[in-house]
Amino acid sequence: MQSCLIDLSRPTGPFPNPNVMGIFLGLIAPLALGLGLAYYSGKEKISWIIVFLFTAMGIYLTLSRGSGMGLFASTLLLALILRKKALAVFLIGILLVYPLVMPKNIKVWAQKRNYNPLVFLFNEDRLSMYMNSMNMIKHHPFIGVGINTYSQNYGKYKTKKAEDYCVTPESSYAQSNFFQMAGEVGLIGLAVFFLFLGILFRELTRAYKRSDDRYIKALSISLIACFTAFLINGMTESSLYYSRVAIMFWYFVGISLSLGKFIKPGSPQAHVLKA
């Protein structure tokens, strides 16, 4: 059986693997870009943009597809909301040019997979894990197998079809926040998490629209971009189950839910922020 992985060197930094490093940088990059574009000016603006460029380069070097998708989506979101047309055009240009300049190993790997978009985005091992996860959810649809027991139970729900596609370990994370959460706490628990996310984005949107403080507005839209990147990356990573990066997510959640405290009751809806 051919390898499910791409043979390329990737940095890990202080993290256990490149993908976790990508998750961490993916939370920082939109914050730096949002504040740099929407609030700061002069040397401070340049400093924040430089921080963004370094984190973006770090994400590229990890070759983490989930982190890359999250970075692209969050940056495009900021470009559209802040009306940065040049940045939006630049991003679309990168999307069109990258297939021509991507590393040779990736080109060869993609060619062997017949340029299958699902394999290109998620890799065979993840697709196999997702099939096994769906089998776990099928057997325990409402309350799951129990909190923090996904890895312990994973091997029990492996299917022949999924393992014939790509062999996976007997104990493994789902490599997806949503499959792992549904496996552990069921579809009811997953629905509650989506409800929480809806409240989180609602509060950030309210802070952005109602505050007359430019910093609060810039921070709120930057945090929306951060969560967008994290959740998109979470389609391909169990990022909420890695304590070293999950703590950043919940720290940002705390900041987000506190922003409403800085808005005066009855304050009129503010105009759209212009950098």
pLDDT bucket at 247, cuts 50 / 70 / 90: very high
* Residue 270 falls inside a structural domain: no
Which amino acid, 168? T
Instruction: Report how far apart, in Å, the C-alpha atoms of 227 and of each of 45, 115, 252, 253 are.
Output: 22, 29, 9, 9
Give the angle 164-19-5 at the CA atoms, nearest 5°. Answer: 35
Joined together, the tokens standing for residue 202 give: 């609602």
pLDDT value, residue 12? 87
pTM, two decimal places:
0.89
Give the count of domains, the chain. Answer: 1
Q: Looking up tokens 């009129």, which residue turns up?
A: 268
pLDDT of 8 above 70: no
pLDDT of 7 above 70: no
> Which residue would you say has higher pLDDT here, 43 or 109?
43
pLDDT of 1 above 70: no
* Residue 81 falls inside a structural domain: yes
DSSP state of 169: -
Average pLDDT over residues 138-156: 95
pLDDT value, residue 107? 76
Per-residue pLDDT tens for 178-205?
A: 999 999 999 999 999 999 999 999 999 9
Average pLDDT of every residue of the chain: 90
Range of the domain at 247: 18-262
* Residue 272 falls inside a structural domain: no
Per-residue pLDDT tens for 159-169?
A: 999 999 999 99
Average pLDDT over residues 49-60: 96
* Residue 271 falls inside a structural domain: no
Q: How far apart are CA 159 and CA 57, in angstroms?
A: 38
* Residue 6 falls inside a structural domain: no
Residue 255 CB: number of other CB atoms within 10 A? 14
Please give the radius of gyration of the chain, using alpha carbons only, rounded to the nearest integer.
Answer: 20
pLDDT value, residue 46? 97
* Residue 118 falls inside a structural domain: yes
* Residue 5 falls inside a structural domain: no
Q: How far apart are CA 262 and CA 199, in angstroms?
A: 18
Which amino acid, 216? I
Please name the residues in contact with 183: beta carbons below 8 A apart, sequence gap of 6 or more: 133, 136, 137, 140, 144, 145, 150, 153, 174
pLDDT value, residue 271? 46
* Residue 204 falls inside a structural domain: yes
